[in-house]
Amino acid sequence: MPNAIVTGAARGIGLATAKLFLAEGRQVAMIDRDGDALAKAAEGLDHVLPITCDVSDEAQVTAMVAQVTDAFGSVDALVNNAGVADFRPLGETDLQIWRRVMATNLDGVFLTSQAVIPHMTQGSGAIVNIASISGLRASTLRVAYGTSKAAVIHLTRQQAAELGERGIRVNCVAPGPVDTKLALAVHSKEIRAAYHDAIPLNRYGTEQEIAEVIVFLCSDKAAYVTGQTIAADGGFDATGVGLPALRQN
């Protein structure tokens, strides 16, 4: 049975991705630092291996990967999805906040990939890193979050460059706004309305819509795609400022 590791799998985009992998016949290691939420999410699901692990902690990541490879053998797909958001002005972003965001969003992707890569199925392994439109276009209040996600986009290319000759593909998905707990915590009513204005499809995305792109990139259907970032964002990244006013005309 093919397998996948999904980090941040207790809820949101990670849980939707885990469920889609299951529906496609993979067994899934569901990784999250919130053990209670993870246990609830995994309840009633077959072919899952839930493991509580903080992806920013090297020792925990090493132990988690050992547990997964004991159970699965080699790893077919890794989705580095665990992430945290923090929106605040430059002047209020102190080093502790910066480090907290980088620890999960960037170190977590680096550490988990480093630990998993030696165990990836040679010739057909796939990694998908989850960035954000905030890593593609700069915006106010996202000095730490946006920078961490821009780094994930470049880390994806670095990994793709080195792992290509081993047949391991590495791609990135940059989601637009999706109604998850993460977004609810940082998107005010005003931010929500502004997003609707700035997105050609004029709405938030769903967890399922992001999961579909992730699962596609992990599949053989994307066998010749590596080093790419796909924005699943309703057109936000492709379009410029000022269009909402034009649209009203």
Interacting residues toward ligand NAD by CB under 6 A: 7-8, 10-14, 32-34, 37, 54-56, 81-85, 104, 108, 130, 132, 175, 177-178, 180-183
Q: List beta partners, residue 129.
A: 80, 172
Alpha-carbon distance of 156 to 149, in angstroms, equals 11
Instruction: Determine the 3-state secondary structure of 15 from DSSP.
Output: helix
Nearer to ligand NAD, 125 or 205 (CB): 205
Minimum distance from residue 165 beta carbon to ligand NAD (Å): 28
User: Which residue lies nearer to ligand NAD by CB, 22 or 103?
Assistant: 103
| C-beta closer to ligand NAD: residue 72 or 87 | 87
Round to whole Å and give the CA distance between 140 and 152: 19
Q: Please state the closest distance from residue 217 (CB atom) to ligand NAD, in A.
A: 14
Cβ 209 to ligand NAD shortest distance, Å: 11
Catalytic residue positions, numbered: 145
Q: How far is the CB of 5 from ligand NAD (least distance, A)?
A: 12
Run of H or E residues at 183: helix 181-186
Task: Return the H-helix or E-strand segment holding 60.
Answer: helix 58-72
Polymer length of the chain: 249
Nearer to ligand NAD by C-beta: 1 or 176? 176
- Which of the 8 DSSP states describes residue 139? -
**Helix, strand, or coil (residue 185):** helix
- Shortest approach of ligand NAD to residue 166 CB, angstroms? 25
Q: Which two tokens stand for residue 190?
A: 């005003």
When the beta carbons of 120 and 128 are compared against ligand NAD, the nearer one is: 128
Reduced DSSP (H G I as helix, E B as strand, rest coil) percent helix, strand, coil of the chain, to 5:
50, 15, 30
Strands 77-80 and 48-52: unpaired
Nearest to 80 by CA among 206, 220, 218: 218
